[in-house]
Chains A and B, each alone.
Chain A
Amino acid sequence: GDQVKQSPSALSLQEGTNSALRCNFSIATTTVQWFLQNPRGSLMNLFYLVPGTKENGRLKSTFNSKESYSTLHIRDAQLEDSGTYFCAAGASSSFSKLVFGQGTSLSVVP
């Protein structure tokens, strides 16, 4: 089954609006990473989280380990935010494996 379930699978946002992406974990997760994959395929690190919240510019991410989920909030979406967002679950007991969700394909339109 899906160990890391991402929602929504696809999303279209108007420029300037806000939205949230979510990941639910059904495996033991002690850290979460969020990535943005651009059309060329490069994965850009957005956040590395232990339980808690981090903010960077228009992006904010929370990892709630007790309820096994993480969210990524995008504020004031811009065209360059388009791409595929992946969350990935890490476990300190098994540092050798980072398990990815299926991704959210985001399209920001004018």
Chain B
Amino acid sequence: AQTIHQWPVAEIKAVGSPLSLGCTIKGKSSPNLYWYWQATGGTLQQLFYSITVGQVESVVQLNLSASRPKDDQFILSTEKLLLSHSGFYLCAWSRQGGSDYTFGSGTRLLVI
């Protein structure tokens, strides 16, 4: 069975500090991978997607970047956090060509 793991569970970071969030999928080769962001009380907004190692497409510009260094790993990062980066970050996967998403348990970020 496939499992999706996100880390860390929660972070409190200072404005201007760097950030790195991780996501790992086990039990599935060559998945499509996605990063979503959710403001408190809001809907989910797609940030990035990746269909293969080393290839990432940006959907929304939020002064964030993403990378896929391995088939089963997706990283979200920034060198300088803004207050507006606070929220809930969710990683998801689907099979190639599929729109059936499974989400990880998320990382809650508070920027102060």
Chain B interface (Cβ < 8 Å from any Cβ of A): 32, 34, 38, 42-46, 49, 51, 57, 59, 88, 90, 92, 94, 97-103, 105-106, 108
Chain A interface (Cβ < 8 Å from any Cβ of B): 30-31, 33, 35, 40-43, 45, 48, 86, 88, 90-92, 95-103
Residues of B within 8 A of A31 (CB): 99-100
Query: Is the pair A41, B106 in contact by a Cβ cutoff of 8 Å?
Result: yes
* 24 contacting pairs across A/B (C-beta < 8 A): A30-B99, A31-B100, A33-B99, A35-B103, A42-B103, A42-B106, A43-B90, A86-B43, A88-B101, A90-B99, A90-B100, A91-B99, A92-B97, A95-B32, A95-B97, A96-B32, A96-B34, A97-B49, A97-B59, A98-B34, A98-B92, A98-B99, A100-B43, A103-B43
CA distance A98 to B33 in the complex (A): 12
Query: Is the pair B43, A41 in contact by a Cβ cutoff of 8 Å?
Result: no
Residues of B within 8 A of A98 (CB): 34, 46, 92, 99, 101
Cβ-closest chain B residue relative to A102: B43
Query: Taking the nearest CB of chain B, how far is it from the CB of A9, in angstroms?
Result: 11
